[in-house]
């Protein structure tokens, strides 16, 4: 196992910079997820750690070594790809042991490593099958097993679940989490799926346009986003954002609705702001919004409802903006029905209208 340090890491293609001097310290045994929209630089960053992309600037350390110029085979890392990259003509057993065979390890050592990996990932009954005889989830487990047998210092995962259906993705998230708990190896994992990031990570690194926007635990980035990008990228459904202005010690929305400034936030009189509230913190009166010290009430017209079983997601209009709210213990809601909603102000946020940066005191 080893820590990974990125110090001022830059990636440029000629004059075009795609990763802008990022700094990131990953502790020994930590599970860190790089997440962000397509083109944000997360996979490029992972490929620089792997040695599959040259580093244009900065220093990359794995353990106590600077590895900028080391080839992938000398970094003691293992990478699991999106497309599995299995050899179709080989059995599962042969796929698992292939890298050790190439390294000219003893047959007894290879057999022992393959057996251990197969047991960890419940692949033992499949050892004599070929990839074409396996499901997508089974193939992904083989790809993970092939990484395990090398006993690397660092595991790298590049969107490994994106080819699986929703049910399999959920199952494989559990498998990967159990694998990390069992092996305790440092993992750097790339995904565009914020649900994967939230459920797997010890810490999440949120990227945009080749820069790091925020680093924190899943709870930290969910509850204290540093800007509107993080607020809307993390969480499902995304945070509702409403344009307003500070007037008389409150946030005044476009239609004159006044909401108290959320505790812990602040802005000068007259400043243009964005008020943020998650669907979990705005519910119809009487529908189980947990009581907090600071509450507000607004009336809204329901435009659409999405029943989800134990709850219903409501789409309604407030100050000319569509917001999403939740109804627990749901009942049928008519299109156009006007309801009183409670807002938990203690869970709300305030951002600068121009920069999107959180306004905290």
- pLDDT tens string 152-164: 899 999 988 887 7
- pLDDT tens string 309-346: 888 999 999 999 999 999 987 788 888 889 999 999 99
Residues 108 and 217 grouped into a single domain: yes
Residue 32 sits at φ, ψ, to 5 deg, of: -115, 135
Question: Which pLDDT value is given to residue 314?
Answer: 95
Residues 152 and 294 grouped into a single domain: no
* CATH for 143: 3.40.50.300
Residues 195 and 47 grouped into a single domain: yes
Any domain includes 225: yes
Residues 49 and 97 grouped into a single domain: yes
Count of domains observed in the chain: 2
pLDDT above 70 as % of the chain: 98
**How far apart (Å, rounded) are the C-alpha atoms in residues 130 and 172?**
20
Any domain includes 357: no
Residue position matching structure tokens 């997508």: 136
Question: Which pLDDT value is given to residue 182?
Answer: 87
Kindly give, in sequence order, each residue whose CB lies less than 8 Å from that of residue 65, ignoring residues fewer than 6 positions away. none
Question: Which pLDDT value is given to residue 1?
Answer: 64
Residues 94 and 146 grouped into a single domain: yes
Residue 244 sits at φ, ψ, to 5 deg, of: -160, -170
Taking a C-beta distance cutoff of 8 angstroms, is the pair 152, 144 a contact?
no
**How far apart (Å, rounded) are the C-alpha atoms in residues 67 and 63?**
9
Sorting pLDDT into bands at 50, 70 and 90, what band is 288? Answer: low
Average the pLDDT over 172-200 and give the result.
91
Q: How far is CA 361 from CA 261, 262, 326, in A?
A: 11, 11, 29
Residues 201 and 319 grouped into a single domain: no
Sorting pLDDT into bands at 50, 70 and 90, what band is 282? Answer: very high
Question: Which pLDDT value is given to residue 330?
Answer: 78
pLDDT at 239 over 90: yes
Mean pLDDT value across the chain: 92
Query: Residue 260: which domain range?
Result: 239-352
Residue 317, classed as helix, strand or coil, is strand
Question: Which pLDDT value is given to residue 164?
Answer: 79
Any domain includes 126: yes
Taking a C-beta distance cutoff of 8 angstroms, is the pair 295, 311 a contact?
no
Query: If you write DSSP's letter for every residue of 10-43 in order, what string do you get?
Result: EEEETTEEEEEEEEEEE-TT-EEEEE-STTSSHH
Question: Which pLDDT value is given to residue 289?
Answer: 66
Taking a C-beta distance cutoff of 8 angstroms, is the pair 259, 343 a contact?
yes
Any domain includes 205: yes
pLDDT at 208 over 80: yes
Nearest to 182 by CA among 216, 135, 217, 144: 144
Question: Which pLDDT value is given to residue 269?
Answer: 94
**How far apart (Å, rounded) are the C-alpha atoms in residues 240 and 298?**
15
Structure tokens at 343: 């807002």
Taking a C-beta distance cutoff of 8 angstroms, is the pair 204, 35 a contact?
yes
**How far apart (Å, rounded) are the C-alpha atoms in residues 90 and 278?**
50
Question: Lowest mean pLDDT: which of 279-283, 292-296, 307-311?
Answer: 292-296
Domain closes at, from 215, 232, 249: 232
Residues 200 and 113 grouped into a single domain: yes
Any domain includes 338: yes
Domain closes at, from 194, 217, 232: 232
Taking a C-beta distance cutoff of 8 angstroms, is the pair 274, 243 a contact?
yes
Any domain includes 147: yes
Average the pLDDT over 119-124 and give the result.
88
Structure tokens at 314: 């409501």
Residues 150 and 46 grouped into a single domain: yes
Strand partners, 243: 274
pLDDT at 97 over 70: yes
pLDDT at 230 over 90: yes
Residues 266 and 226 grouped into a single domain: no
Taking a C-beta distance cutoff of 8 angstroms, is the pair 353, 287 a contact?
no
CA 347 from centroid of its chain's CA atoms: 21
Residues 204 and 278 grouped into a single domain: no
Residues 82 and 167 grouped into a single domain: yes
Any domain includes 21: no
* CATH for 341: 2.40.50.140
Question: Which pLDDT value is given to residue 102?
Answer: 86
pLDDT at 93 over 90: yes
DSSP 8-state code for residue 177 = H
Sorting pLDDT into bands at 50, 70 and 90, what band is 172? Answer: confident
Domain closes at, from 197, 232, 267: 232
Any domain includes 295: yes
Taking a C-beta distance cutoff of 8 angstroms, is the pair 227, 71 a contact?
no
Residues 128 and 89 grouped into a single domain: yes
**How far apart (Å, rounded) are the C-alpha atoms in residues 196 and 172?**
10
């Amino acid at each position: 196992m080893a820590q990974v340090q990125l110090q001022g890491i830059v990636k440029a293609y000629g004059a075009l910079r795609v990763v802008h001097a990022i700094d990131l310290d990953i502790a020994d045994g930590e599970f860190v997820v790089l997440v962000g929209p397509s083109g944000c630089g997360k996979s490029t960053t992972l490929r620089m750690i792997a040695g599959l992309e040259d580093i244009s600037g900065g220093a990359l350390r794995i353990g106590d070594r600077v590895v900028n110029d080391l080839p992938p085979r000398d970094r003691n890392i293992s990478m699991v790809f999106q497309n599995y990259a299995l050899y179709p003509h080989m059995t599962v057993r042969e796929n698992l042991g292939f890298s050790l065979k190439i390294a000219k390890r003893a047959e007894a050592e290879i057999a022992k490593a393959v057996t251990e990996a197969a047991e960890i990932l419940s692949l033992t009954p499949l050892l004599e099958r070929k990839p074409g005889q396996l499901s997508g989830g089974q193939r992904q487990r083989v790809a993970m097993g092939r990484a395990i047998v090398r006993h690397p210092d660092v595991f790298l995962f590049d969107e490994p679940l994106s080819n699986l259906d929703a049910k399999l993705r959920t199952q494989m998230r559990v498998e990967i989490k159990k694998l990390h708990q069992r092996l305790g190896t440092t993992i750097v994992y790339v995904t565009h799926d914020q649900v994967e990031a939230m459920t797997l990570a010890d810490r999440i690194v949120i990227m945009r346009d080749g820069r790091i926007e925020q680093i924190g635990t899943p709870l930290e980035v969910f509850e204290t986003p540093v800007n509107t990008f993080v607020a809307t990228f993390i969480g499902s459904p995304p945070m509702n954002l409403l344009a307003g202005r500070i007037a008389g010690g409150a946030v005044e929305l476009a239609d004159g609705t006044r909401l108290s400034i959320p505790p812990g936030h602040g802005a000068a009189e007259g400043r243009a702001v964005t008020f943020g509230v998650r669907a979990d913190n705005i519910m119809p009166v009487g529908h189980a919004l947990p009581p907090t010290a600071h509450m507000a009430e607004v009336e809204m017209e329901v435009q659409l409802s999405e029943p989800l079983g134990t709850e219903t997601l409501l789409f309604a209009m407030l100050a000319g903006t569509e917001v999403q709210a939740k109804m627990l213990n749901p009942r049928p809601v008519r299109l156009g029905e006007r309801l009183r909603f409670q807002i938990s102000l203690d869970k709300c946020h305030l951002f600068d209208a121009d920069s999107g940066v959180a306004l905290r005191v």
